[in-house]
Amino acid sequence: MKNKVPKILIVEDSENILEMLELMFEIQGWESAKLKNLNDFVDHVASIAPDIILMDMLLSGANGCDACRTLKSDDAYKEIPIIMMSAHPEARTETTNAGADFFLDKPFEINDLISKIETAIEMIP
């Protein structure tokens, strides 16, 4: 992906984390969009057209792994790199099994997140 600013969809139900990520992405020169829940998730992905998705595994009673599986099973969205994050001890295995491209432990180091996003940017066709 050359000469294009990546658009990252942040799916997170914590307002504090959302604000911090939006600010960090702005500083990096990346465009962002946000969702606080998984209601009509696929419709939102279709309208936002993100290059990368950064998603919490547990979202106010919903499981991000289910959303990840849905996207990865759809030819229209399966190439979008998905970075899943969680503080849940079994999350890495669950998110990998759901098809996530990357996993980030919460709490996370900003440099780890930036590194994963930079790697995901290289995956964008």
- Residue 118 falls within a domain, yes or no? no
Can you give the CATH number for the domain in which 102 is found?
3.40.50.2300
- Residue 21 belongs to a domain: yes
Instruction: Evaluate whether residue 78 is within a structural domain.
Output: yes
Average pLDDT over residues 84-94: 93
Instruction: Identify whether 14 is part of a domain.
Output: yes
Is residue 79 included in any domain, yes or no? yes
Range of the domain at 105: 7-113
Query: For 93-109, what is each residue's pLDDT tens digit?
Result: 999 999 999 999 999 99
Q: How many Cα atoms are found within 13 Å in the side-chain-facing hemisphere of 108?
A: 22
Query: Is residue 125 domain-resident?
Result: no
Domain count, the chain: 1
Res 113 pLDDT > 90: yes
Please report whether residue 123 resides in a domain. no
For the stretch 21-67, pLDDT in tens is: 999 999 999 999 999 999 999 999 999 999 999 999 999 889 999 99
- For the entire predicted model, the pTM comes to 0.95
DSSP per residue, 76-99? TTTTS-EEEEE--TTHHHHHHHTT
At which residue do the structure tokens 């919460």 appear?
106
